[in-house]
Amino acid sequence: MSSPLSSRERGRRTRPKVRSWWVAFLASTLVVATFGFASVASSAVAKKPTISVWVDSTRVPQVKAYEKAHPGVKIDMVIYNGNANGSGVLQSKIALDNRVGSGWPDIVFSEENNDAASLASSQFNYPAVLNKGLVSKKVLGGYAQGTLAGCTLNGKVYCLRNDLAMNVLFYNSALMTQFGYSVPTTWQQWQTIGEEVATQHPGYIVGSVGDNWDDDIYLWPSECHVDDVVKTDTIDINGADPNCTRATQLIDPLIKDGAVTTDSVFSSTFGTTFNNKILMMVGPAWYGQYLFPGIVTKGDLAVADPLSWGSGPTVTGEVGGGLWFMSSHVTGAAKTLSASILTWLSTSYGSQGISPGYPAYVADESSWIAGQQASGLYSNQIAPVFAKAATEVWSGWSPVPWSTDSVFGSTVVTGLNSGQTMTSQLSAFASQLADYAQSDGYTVVTKP
């Protein structure tokens, strides 16, 4: 709000005219000087391009590692919020850059797995096509089967995956032994244990629904059809799908009993409230390095295969994972250089070895796992669980130009916070998704 006081003249100055001339003169001198220097500077470095790289704070060490390994390359690193939680910051910057015709980041990291669909659309036209000479076939072939699916549109690969963020079941092995539970393999078993925990060990939790990505944790693995692009520009959104309600009906009683919390896992007090009180939690692979250290005693954390629904093949969901894009607007020497930086950041162990997520690039996986295992956090072997889960991500949850998570947050999570049940909020969730889909030109269908 503009305060009228700020613009009120105080009337003490006796010669405003003279002063304003001076101010104008000084200001114009500054402007000329700045632009002058800028143009001199830019002509001086014209031969050695500076590559601009935008990352979230989590990815900063990876870029720093590149700079250390390649001291001759000039990187201009910009830290932004990683486009997290449907904030759309990246889209807003690209839209502005498109408008002025310059300023695009040469390389950008996004936490939002939907971003290939959005950024490569005719609205933004931002990313370079990587599989037409920029990145070698060998590198592209080095990714686990299906992991570049979200980056691939009409046969063109627009991004490289940073890490795989498939959900697995984390559990506290010491507590499970102490309480006498065996590790569940199905969602139904998980719920039974949850009910028992609520009565026998109140205060302990088996999960959380307080964040806007929890649709990826509970609805995606349940094959809930609210985000299924069945053919180009046609999407299946059905909140009444039994696959959706079977998940929410399982969770609702647990929320009521307190075995599933509605606190955000990144709220300031989550760590203290649930210190060594998380019995189980389904979550993405990166929870291991990013969420649990400090909350679970070292050596007590274990992972198990994603939960199944008893019949049919086991599938899971994923939360984020991160994508590396390169700008289609880079030309000349900067183009090859950018492509090599992009490749290094997303595939080299120098970069992936320090990433909190399970590398999408197969060659880095075993070393990364070895590093994780050596950290002493886990009580069992994570390699077989992660490797298997990575291949089980259900394909019926498609990349779309809007943020499904954001809609889940503003409908289901806020509903839970106001005392509603998850099941009762499904229709609001689905109808708002349908609104978004329609306003983005999709035809919404409802498959039973």
Partner 1 sequence: MKSAASGKDPTPLDATASLIPRLRRRKKNGVAGYVFVSGYFVLLILFGVAPAAYAIALAFTATGGHFVGFSNFVKTAEDFRFLPAFENVAEYLLIWLGSLVVIVLGLALMLHGIARKVSAAFRFIFYLPGALAGAASVLVWLFMLDPTVSPWRLFLGIFGFKNLGQTILPGHLPLIFAIIAFWAGAGGWIVVTYGALNNIPNELIEAAQLDGAGAFQTALRIKLPLIKKWITFMLILAFAAGTQLFVEPQLVGEASLGLISPTWSPNELAYYFAFQDNNFNYAAAISVDLLVIGLLCAAVLVFRTKLFEVE
Per CB under 8 A, residues contacting partner 1 are 1-5, 7, 9, 16-17, 20, 81, 84-88, 91-92, 95-96, 98-99, 118, 123-124, 210-212, 262-264, 266-269, 402-403, 405-406, 409-410, 413-414, 416-418, 432, 435, 439-440
Q: Smaller CB distance to partner 1: residue 17 or 47?
A: 17
Q: Please name which of 152, 97, 149, 150 lies closest in space to residue 125, comparing C-alpha atoms.
A: 97
The pairs formed by 91-99 with CB atoms below 8 angstroms and a separation of 24 or more are 91/118, 91/119, 91/124, 94/119, 94/124, 94/126, 95/124, 98/124, 98/125, 98/126
User: What is d(CA 261, CA 410) in angstroms, rounded to the nearest whole number?
Assistant: 17
Query: CA 425 → CA 249, 400, 438, distances in Å?
Result: 12, 21, 20
The nearest distance, CB 392 to partner 1, in angstroms, is 26
User: What is d(CA 110, CA 116) in angstroms, rounded to the nearest whole number?
Assistant: 10
* Number of other residues whose CB lies within 10 A of the CB of residue 116: 24
Q: Smaller CB distance to partner 1: residue 49 or 409?
A: 409
The nearest distance, CB 275 to partner 1, in angstroms, is 14
The nearest distance, CB 319 to partner 1, in angstroms, is 12
The nearest distance, CB 411 to partner 1, in angstroms, is 9
Q: Smaller CB distance to partner 1: residue 127 or 210?
A: 210
Q: Smaller CB distance to partner 1: residue 82 or 184?
A: 82
The nearest distance, CB 435 to partner 1, in angstroms, is 4
User: What is d(CA 67, CA 75) in angstroms, rounded to the nearest whole number?
Assistant: 7
The nearest distance, CB 32 to partner 1, in angstroms, is 19
Q: Smaller CB distance to partner 1: residue 175 or 254?
A: 254
Q: Smaller CB distance to partner 1: residue 332 or 419?
A: 419
Q: Which spans in 170-321 are helix H?
A: 173-179, 187-200, 214, 242-257, 270-273, 287-290
Six token digits for residue 128: 């370079």
The nearest distance, CB 91 to partner 1, in angstroms, is 5
Q: Which residue is associated with the tokens 């507590």?
A: 175
Q: Smaller CB distance to partner 1: residue 188 or 410?
A: 410
Q: Please name which of 261, 319, 309 lies closest in space to residue 288, comparing C-alpha atoms.
A: 319
